Amino acid sequence: MQYALFPIFLYHFVISIFGWFKRKEVDAGKFAPVNRFALVIAAHNEEKVVGNIVRNLKSLDYPSDMYDIFVIADNCTDRTAEVAEANGAQVYKRYSEEKKGKGYALEWMFEKIFKMEKKYDAICVFDADNLVSPNFLKVMNKHLCMGHKLIQGYLDSKNPFDSIISGSYAITYWLNNRLFQLPRYYLGLSCAIGGTGFVVATDVLKKIGWGATCLTEDLEFTIKMVLNDMKVYWAHDAVVYDEKPLTLKQSWRQRKRWMQGQADCTCRYFLRLLRKAVKDRSMVAFDCALYLIQPLIIVTSGICLLVNFLKFILFYDFSTIMKTSSIISALSTLVATYISGIFVFIEGKISPKLLYYFVLFPFYNLTWIPIIIQGFICKDDKEWVHTIHTRSIDIQEINNKLKEEG
């Protein structure tokens, strides 16, 4: 089985090579701010953090008359709406017991934006716990001027030093940004929407519709774009800071939801993507299909490793274990994980505390195996589980913390 999986691992490794060296980007300042943006924040009981992102967005390095901030107070029972409005956002309250979740809330808000007298060239989507770099809209304006219709910003963490779990999340995102998203952008493949910090052209959204209402609406919309012969572009210099869970319990619940959504999308779209890849000779569709089954590949390789390890423990001399391909594969994976830390350093994210987190990073990765299994078993459970956010900080505090820890 491991020999059968080797070509897939090799494929991903070869793709990642193209992200090892960052190319010089066209200066966003060379593009006039001609695109008008609607900034949409989906919020459910986020009174502790929503004020920070509204203030943050109001201070972006982009003409203030070229963007508006909208907050969806989605089934809120706290002061989210009041806090957002007090900080200068336009608030729309939504209540629905049947259609719960971010995907439904966004679809509801998009329809309202389409009907507004003021017209927008693009819509940006954020979560209430986010903060963004001052140049965010300037960079997105550049991409839109270059003809890009769907762009994902660089996903970062606003609390990487709070716990081993939040640090492991941050490391995962940094590696994903550099070794998954960036090389696909360079190669002309589709990047993946990360749930927040993305921009979609209004004309595209009107044409193909949102319709992404599963537990992982970002993945579903990425697939819809690929099936419609479009793709997601990558803005490495437009940074979105996201709050990560602090405990394993919180992390487990969130990642289980992600895997439930991915399992749902795999069952509904995998064969359609493969058919498109064959019929249209589309490398973009093929790559997207492989991405869908990546969790299954991780579980399969993990189970193979465990079975082979137990087999040799029970029936063979322990000294022969090191000669097996499964152990060699495991050691190679471990070495590759630590070597990938070079790219965390290249991204300028290294610190003594993060070095400690990186040593424990493989143990965090191991927790993915039971989470993936549980997520696929429970894929038909569509109940949205809210992740609580409490880290109320501003962009300057994030920069100061990075300097202190660095």
CA angle 335, 338, 341 (to 5 degrees): 145
**358/336 Cα distance (integer angstroms):** 12
pLDDT < 50: residue spans in the chain: none
Nearest to 204 by CA among 121, 127, 145, 280: 121
In a domain, 343, yes or no: no
Q: Is residue 213 part of a domain?
A: yes
Flag whether 81 is in a domain. yes
Residue 215 has a pLDDT of 80
Cα–Cα distance for residue pair 266/30, rounded to 1 Å: 41
Confirm whether 272 is domain-assigned.
no
- pLDDT one-digit tens code per residue, 221-252: 999 999 999 999 999 999 999 999 999 999 99
* pLDDT given for residue 354 in this prediction: 78
Residue 346 lies in a domain: no
Number of domains in the chain: 1
* pTM score: 0.89
For 196, residues 6+ apart whose C-beta sits below 8 A from its C-beta are 125, 126, 127, 130, 155, 240, 242
133-144 pLDDT tens trace: 999 999 999 999
CATH number of residue 218's parent domain: 3.90.550.10
Q: What is the chain's alpha carbon radius of gyration, rounded to the nearest angstrom? A: 21
What does the pLDDT read at residue 148? 97
Task: Give the Cα separation of 188 and 283 in Å (integer).
Answer: 9
381: Cβ contacts below 8 Å, ≥ 6 apart: 260
Q: What is the pLDDT of residue 358?
A: 81
Residue 121 falls inside a structural domain = yes
Supply the range of the domain harboring residue 241: 35-258
